[in-house]
Amino acid sequence: MLDLTAHELAKKIEAGEISAHEAAATANARVGEVENDVNAFVTTTPELALERAGKVDAKNGDRRFWEGVPLVVKDVLSTRGVRTTCGSQMLKDFTPLYDASALTNFGEDLIMVGKANMDEFAMGSSTENSSYGVTRNPWDLARVPGGSSGGSAAAVAAGMGWWALGTDTGGSVRQPAALCGIVGLKPTYGRVSRYGLIAFASSLDQIGPMTRDVRDSALLLQAIAGHDPRDSTSANVEVPDYLADLEKGVSGLRVGVVTELMGEGIDPGVREVVQKTVSGLEEAGAEVGEVSLPHSRYGLAAYYIIAPAELSSNLARFDGVRYGYRSPDASGVHEMYRKTREEGFGDEAKRRIMLGTYALSSGYYDAYYAQAQKVRTRIVEDFRNAFSRYDVLVSPTSPSVAFEIGAKTDDPLAMYAQDVCAVPMSLAGIPAISVPGGLSEGLPVGVQLMSNHFTEPMLLRAARAAEQAADFEFTLKP
């Protein structure tokens, strides 16, 4: 059963060959086998999974196709009655009062394997910023799984559940998917409701599927997408059938390789895998060319102003008053705020709160935040130009394969550089997907495909063709 993809398992559950309860028990048993080595979870929920699986089985014919397949949920998504930590001491005993809309869309009786580990408040590219221990890459336990959705990626790669939800602000679904050899999709901004997603940067955050293959990605997006009156930024755009066009191939599709993301700073082994995948798409009938995104070199700088600015506002809510941690020994309210935040936040959260507060402070606002918002406009225009000539763009997902634990923890800038290929798409709000293209240094390389707003059906179709062209087969690790 562990060798099946999510849609294959869903089919067997539908046919009555496997029960949801058996699936949940299998996931729980796999957690028992490998979680000690991988540490993909902050909290596991084996009894809840079995109880809900029982309910799904009892529904018989009256259930959606995907409902019986156990899911891993990143610990930034609110789950009613189940502790939700965001990888932080600030929320170590926080139990949400409601479920995120993406989860209730999936199903009332969502069979959850557990809450996946992550960088604190989703800030990081290695899951080393978690207050609950580092998650290890199932391909090589001495290496990071990427981040911030590293726990979700590692759980899927290790078969602790068949699929997972992550969140992506500047690559946090795509980069860990690339480093763990799975498929990670950041949908169009607004495609999936952010209600119940504990906010990092509100104009960038998006929930996305992390799966074994592209068909599972399409299926999981189908399960969670849709307009939500509770999220004013969720898009009131009809949800199409993401599976209908999946096998239609790339014949006649115009594919542009992003020049700026195939040069300096990208490991040669990574470039080689991307080039091979592009050749595969060409052989499958795509028209291939090169495309320039001239402002992408400013993407990282703009991102590291806009995201910290937004998070410094969003994280102001953690003040020890209404929920979460409160420092026990403060004599006045201001000391209580300062101590609560000093003791509750980790290093990276503090660094980014400081960076964002500085960028928004009097005298610096125009030079940083206002300028970054204009750069964002230029980046949006770059993509608009590119999509007037190409249907799909291609680049690496991450500049390197998985690096060793501890290799970048003392150098924030080296860590931020991990996001260089991922942030322009986040700033523009377009959908982007990482598909395993092959190996370099014995480790998986992700190929990133992107397309215009709300064109996920075409993007998934191209990603499916890339997956077929790739020199890669999903196998359970470790």
Partner 1 sequence: MISEEQVRHVANLARLGLTDEEIQRMSGQLGAILESIDRIGELDLEGVPPTANPLNLTNVLRPDEPSAELSREEALAIAPDPVDDLFAVPRID
Q: Does 83 bind partner 1 (CB under 8 A)?
A: no
| Catalytic residue (one of 101, 125, 126, 148) | 148
Pick between residue 17 and residue 335 the one whose CB is nearest to partner 1.
Answer: 335
Among 1, 55, 323, 440, binds partner 1 (CB under 8 A): 323
Pick between residue 82 and residue 301 the one whose CB is nearest to partner 1.
Answer: 301
Pick between residue 43 and residue 371 the one whose CB is nearest to partner 1.
Answer: 371
Active site residue 362: no
* Spatial contact of 4 and 162, defined as CB atoms under 8 Å apart: yes
Q: Which helix (H) or strand (E) holds 167?
A: strand 163-168
Q: Which of residues 325-354 bind partner 1 (CB under 8 A)?
A: 325-326, 330-339, 341-343, 345, 350-351, 353-354
Q: Write the CB contacts of 44 (distance below 8 Å, at least 6 apart in sequence).
A: 28, 31, 35, 113, 114, 115
Pick between residue 163 and residue 345 the one whose CB is nearest to partner 1.
Answer: 345
**Shortest CB 238 distance to partner 1, Å:** 15
Active site residue 296: no
End-to-end, the C-alpha distance of the chain in Å comes to 17
**Shortest CB 317 distance to partner 1, Å:** 12
Active site residue 148: yes
Q: How many chain residues bind partner 1 (CB under 8 A)?
A: 69
Q: Which of residues 278-317 bind partner 1 (CB under 8 A)?
A: 295, 298, 300-302, 304-305, 312, 316
Q: If you write DSSP's letter for every residue of 44-94 in order, what string do you get?
A: E-HHHHHHHHHHHHHHTTSS-TTTTS-EEEETTB-BTTB---TTSGGGTT-
* Spatial contact of 120 and 88, defined as CB atoms under 8 Å apart: yes
**Shortest CB 216 distance to partner 1, Å:** 26
User: Partners of 277 in the beta sheet?
Assistant: none
User: Partners of 294 in the beta sheet?
Assistant: none
Pick between residue 87 and residue 431 the one whose CB is nearest to partner 1.
Answer: 431
Q: Report helix, strand or coil for 209.
A: strand
Among 11, 12, 94, 269, binds partner 1 (CB under 8 A): 94
**Shortest CB 251 distance to partner 1, Å:** 30
For residue 141, give the nearest of 41, 37, 33 by alpha carbon: 37
Mark 157-196 with x for binding to partner 1 (rule: CB under 8 A) and - for no binding: --------------------------------xx------
**Shortest CB 441 distance to partner 1, Å:** 27
Q: Give buried/exposed letters for 137-159 (b at 16+ CB in 10 A, else e).
A: bbbbeebbbbbbbbbbbbbbbbb
Max CA distance (Å), the chain:
70
Q: Write the CB contacts of 423 (distance below 8 Å, at least 6 apart in sequence).
A: 170, 171, 299, 300, 302, 303
Q: Does 82 bind partner 1 (CB under 8 A)?
A: no
Q: If you write DSSP's letter for every residue of 108-144 in order, what string do you get?
A: TT--EEEEEP-SGGG--SSSTT-TT-PPPBTTBTTB-
- Calculate the alpha carbon distances from 442 to 141, 188, 401 in Å: 13, 32, 9
Pick between residue 32 and residue 294 the one whose CB is nearest to partner 1.
Answer: 294
Is residue 328 exposed (0-12), middle (13-18) or buried (19+ Cβ within 10 Å)?
Answer: exposed
Q: Which of residues 398-437 bind partner 1 (CB under 8 A)?
A: 412-413, 416, 427-430
Q: Does 200 bind partner 1 (CB under 8 A)?
A: no
Among 151, 320, 346, 438, binds partner 1 (CB under 8 A): 320
Q: Does 459 bind partner 1 (CB under 8 A)?
A: no
In this structure, the number of other CB atoms found within 10 A of the CB of residue 127 comes to: 34
Active site residues: 74, 148, 172
- Note the residues at the interface with partner 1 (CB under 8 A): 94-95, 97, 189-190, 203, 229, 232-233, 235, 295, 298, 300-302, 304-305, 312, 316, 319-326, 330-339, 341-343, 345, 350-351, 353-355, 357-358, 361, 367-368, 370-378, 380, 412-413, 416, 427-430, 453
